């Protein structure tokens, strides 16, 4: 792998904006200082269209093979939001940039391309999102459940907040009649 020039957060933001133009819905750069020397920690938050998501990951890999920490998920009512937390340039002293790429998927058809062919380590987190939020990953090599036991019905997703959520499975103890 050839060493490429390190981009700073602003350059990275420009790089993605130039490449994907209107497919990028939102882009924020956040900074946080810490310690006596007030060194900065940078992070970038990008919201992209779900159909170009895989292209964005390919562009990230072109810069440097990123580390995928995890994927977080939110049920936002009509849409399901997935946030992929990547880090770049982790070999540099205080040079790491956290890149958080979010995609919104309609609840009626929550589908996105699997990135396991690009980053095999994404398998665990994709399987988790599959069972917890009911997202379908196209091309995922392993479709089994990971954490949720087999005796939970197939159409119940523990992180959803609507009728497909786990509500019917729990009781409030104070409401139980003696």
Partner 1 sequence: MKQKSTTKTSYHIPIGPIHPALKEPVHFEFEIDGEKIVDVDVKLGHVHRGVEWASRRRNPVQILYLAERICGICSYCHPAAFTLAVEKIADIQVPERAEYLRVIQGELERICSHILWAGVAAHEIGFDTVLYLTWQIRERALDLTEFLTGNRITKGIMMIGGIRRDITPDMIPRIKKDLEHFKKDFETLRHVFLDDKTVKMRSQGAGVLTKDEAMKLCAVGPTGRASGVKKDVRFSESYFAYGDLDIDLITPDVLTGEVNGDVYDRIIQRLLEVKQAIEIIEQAIDKMPSGDILAESKIPKLLAQLKKASGEDIGRHEAPRGEVIHYVKLDGNESPYTWKVRAPTYNNILPWIPMLKGEQIADIPIVAASTDPCMSCTNRVTIVQGSKRYNLNREELHRLCVQKTRRLSK
* Closest approach of partner 1 to the CB of residue 68, in Å: 5
Instruction: Quote the CA–CA distance of 65 and 155 in Å, as a whole number.
Output: 36
* Closest approach of partner 1 to the CB of residue 18, in Å: 26
51 contact partners, CB below 8 Å, separation of at least 6: 23
Instruction: Quote the CA–CA distance of 45 and 49 in Å, as a whole number.
Output: 14
Residue closest to 99 by CA, chosen among 90, 112, 109, 108: 90
Residue 21 or residue 174: which is nearer to partner 1 going by CB?
A: 174
Residue 59 or residue 145: which is nearer to partner 1 going by CB?
A: 145
Residues binding partner 1 (CB under 8 A): 30, 32-37, 39-41, 43, 45, 65, 67-70, 72-74, 83, 85, 87, 89-96, 98, 100, 119-125, 145-149, 158-159, 166
* Closest approach of partner 1 to the CB of residue 156, in Å: 13
* Closest approach of partner 1 to the CB of residue 153, in Å: 16
Residue 19 or residue 62: which is nearer to partner 1 going by CB?
A: 62
* Closest approach of partner 1 to the CB of residue 62, in Å: 15
Residue 85 or residue 107: which is nearer to partner 1 going by CB?
A: 85
Residue 112 or residue 116: which is nearer to partner 1 going by CB?
A: 116
């Amino acid at each position: 792998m050839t060493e490429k020039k390190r981009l700073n957060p602003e350059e990275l933001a420009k790089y993605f904006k130039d490449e994907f133009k209107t497919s990028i819905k939102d882009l924020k750069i956040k900074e946080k200082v810490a310690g006596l020397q007030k060194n900065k920690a940078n992070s970038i938050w990008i919201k992209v269209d779900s159909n170009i998501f895989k292209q964005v990951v390919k562009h990230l890999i072109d810069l440097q093979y990123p580390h995928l920490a995890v994927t977080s998920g939110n049920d936002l009512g009509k849409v399901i939001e997935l946030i992929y937390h990547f880090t770049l340039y982790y070999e540099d002293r205080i040079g790491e940039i956290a890149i958080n790429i979010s995609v919104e998927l309609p609840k009626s058809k929550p589908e996105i391309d699997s990135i396991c062919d690009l980053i095999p380590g994404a398998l665990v987190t994709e399987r988790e999102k599959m069972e917890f939020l009911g997202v379908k990953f196209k091309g995922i090599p392993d479709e089994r459940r990971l954490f949720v036991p087999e005796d939970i019905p197939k159409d119940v997703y523990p992180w959803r907040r609507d009728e497909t959520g786990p509500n019917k499975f729990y009781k409030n103890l104070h409401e139980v009649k003696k």
